[in-house]
Amino acid sequence: MGNLLKVLTCTELEQGPNFFLDFENAQPTDGEREVWNQVNSVLQDSESILAGLQAYKGAGQEIRDAIQNPNVLSLQEQAWNSVCPLVIKLKNFYDFSNRLEDALKSLLESLTCAPLTPTQHLEREQALAKQFAEILHFTLRFDELKMRNPAIQNDFSYYRRTISRNRLNNMNLDIENEVNNEMANKMSLFYAEATPMLKTLSNATTNFVTENKTLPLDNTTDCLSTMAKTPTIMSRFSSEDTRLFCMRVMVGVIILYDHVHPNGAFNKSSKIDMKGCIKVLKDQPAEKVGGLLDALKFTTKHLNDESTPKNIRTMLP
How do residues 154-181 score in pLDDT, each as one tens digit? 999 999 998 877 654 655 567 877 898 8
| pLDDT value at 231 more than 70 | no
Residue 56: burial class (beta carbons within 10 Å; 0-12, 13-18, 19+): middle
Are 152 and 191 a contacting pair, CB within 8 Å?
yes
Q: Where are the alpha helices (H) located in 113-125, listed in sequence order?
A: 118-124
pLDDT of residue 230: 57
Task: Give the model confidence (pLDDT) of 114-129 as tens digits.
Answer: 899 988 998 889 899 9
**Global pTM value:** 0.88
Instruction: Give 86 or 313, the one with higher predicted confidence.
Output: 86
Alpha-carbon distance values, 274 to 86, 225, 252 (Å): 39, 11, 13
Which residue type sits at 316?
L
264-293 core/surface letters (b: 16 or more CB in 10 A; e: else):
bbbbeebbbbbebbbebbeebeeeebebbb
pLDDT band at 214 (very low <50, low <70, confident <90, very high): very high
Q: What is the mean pLDDT of residues 222-240?
A: 69
SS3 call for 215: coil
Q: What is the mean pLDDT of residues 46-52?
A: 98
Are 23 and 6 a contacting pair, CB within 8 Å?
yes
Q: What is the mean pLDDT of residues 30-37?
A: 96
| pLDDT value at 11 more than 60 | no
Are 138 and 251 a contacting pair, CB within 8 Å?
no
| pLDDT value at 108 more than 70 | yes
